[in-house]
């Protein structure tokens, strides 16, 4: 009965399988937690989606920016890019089934001791606010209005949470915080432009979201992916798990129950 958490897979299906083998993952007894971005850029996004869906209740999956982008591409809102290597998902016989399953996945998943999301938790949110925010957007993605939201989600503003935000402005902030956030300024405004590792930041006004001075302290550990340039991060109740497998790094898996890490270096395809 172990909980295994893995960062961004992005189609690195063979590396995921190698990790599961390494730990002798049991579909009947263990739970696999995946921190979003199952698809894009790596070689086997279709295989990854099919496999994770087949795990049913043994997998806890949350949505990343690439997962939402795939939904946008499926609607024709954005063109299919060859470099994403996701075109075969859209033409697969089970495409509809896979994409419907994907948009049923949450933005925030929860264990007694940790929460998991793709980019992070807004520094302005306590856990109750984070939960409510996730549930608001998830309800739309799971409804017939999902096309409207996906078509209109792309915008960098508003970049600061205000509980009085309504409609699209509110949803955009929630989606950006959960799936795209990396740096914030000292007041907690999200900065969507900078993708550098923190060590290369010369602008002292920017800091990783989890180091914003007045960030609300959460009672559970936050597990997140998305930020390959961090090359993994272990801070005070904050753990980054994206170690850039798709960029030639490795896939990282944390076994929560004994806090042991397992890694699989990128395999040549
Ligand atoms: Mn991402």
- Ligand 1: centre distance to CA 181 (Å): 9
**Arch. (CATH architecture) of 3-181+218-265:** 4-Layer Sandwich (3.60)
Q: Cα Rg for the chain, rounded, in angstroms?
A: 17
pLDDT given at position 198: 82
Question: What pLDDT digit, counting tens, does each position of 219-256 carry?
Answer: 999 999 999 999 999 999 999 999 999 999 999 999 99
pLDDT given at position 201: 86
pTM value surpassing 0.95: yes
Across residues 153-166, what is the average pLDDT?
97
State the Cα–Cα distance between residues 131 and 136, nearest whole angstrom: 9
Residue 29 CB: number of other CB atoms within 10 A?
9
pLDDT given at position 113: 98
Domain ranges of the chain: 3-181+218-265
- Ligand 1: centre distance to CA 174 (Å): 15
CB-facing half-sphere around the CA of 155: CA atoms within 13 A: 16
For 259, the token pair is 């806090």
- Ligand 1: centre distance to CA 63 (Å): 9
Question: What pLDDT digit, counting tens, does each position of 165-221 carry?
Answer: 999 999 999 999 999 999 999 999 999 988 778 888 887 789 999 999 999 999 999
Residue 186 CA to chain centroid, in angstroms?
A: 24
- Ligand 1: centre distance to CA 242 (Å): 9
216 phi, psi to nearest 5 deg: -65, 125
State the Cα–Cα distance between residues 47 and 59, nearest whole angstrom: 15
- Ligand 1: centre distance to CA 15 (Å): 18
- Ligand 1: centre distance to CA 61 (Å): 14
- Ligand 1: centre distance to CA 7 (Å): 10
- Ligand 1: centre distance to CA 42 (Å): 13
**Percent of the chain topping pLDDT 70:** 100
pLDDT given at position 196: 78
40 phi, psi to nearest 5 deg: 95, 135
pLDDT given at position 269: 60
- Ligand 1: centre distance to CA 195 (Å): 11
């Amino acid at each position: 009965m172990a909980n295994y958490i893995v960062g961004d897979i992005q189609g690195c299906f063979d590396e995921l399988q190698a990790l599961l083998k390494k730990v002798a993952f049991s579909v009947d007894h263990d739970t696999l937690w995946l921190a979003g971005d199952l698809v894009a850029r790596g070689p086997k996004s279709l295989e990854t989606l099919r496999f994770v869906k087949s795990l049913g209740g043994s997998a806890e999956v949350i949505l990343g920016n690439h997962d939402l982008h795939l939904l946008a591409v499926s609607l024709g809102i954005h063109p299919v890019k060859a470099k994403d290597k996701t075109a075969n998902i859209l033409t697969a016989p089970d495409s509809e089934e896979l994409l419907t399953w994907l948009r049923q996945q949450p933005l925030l998943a929860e264990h007694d001791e940790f929460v998991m999301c793709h980019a992070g938790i807004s520094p302005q949110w306590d856990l109750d606010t984070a939960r409510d925010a996730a549930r608001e957007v998830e309800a739309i993605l799971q409804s017939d209005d999902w096309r409207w939201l996906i078509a209109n989600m792309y915008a960098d503003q508003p970049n600061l949470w205000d509980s009085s935000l309504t409609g699209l402005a509110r949803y955009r902030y929630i989606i950006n915080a959960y799936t795209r956030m990396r740096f914030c300024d000292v007041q907690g405004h999200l900065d969507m432009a900078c993708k550098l590792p923190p060590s290369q930041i010369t602008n002292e006004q920017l800091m990783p979201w989890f180091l914003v001075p007045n960030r609300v302290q959460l009672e559970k550990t936050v597990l997140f992916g998305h930020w390959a340039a961090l090359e993994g991060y272990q801070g005070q109740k904050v753990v980054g798990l994206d170690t850039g497998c798709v960029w030639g790094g490795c896939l990282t898996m944390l076994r929560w129950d004994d806090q042991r890490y397992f890694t699989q270096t990128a395999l040549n395809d």
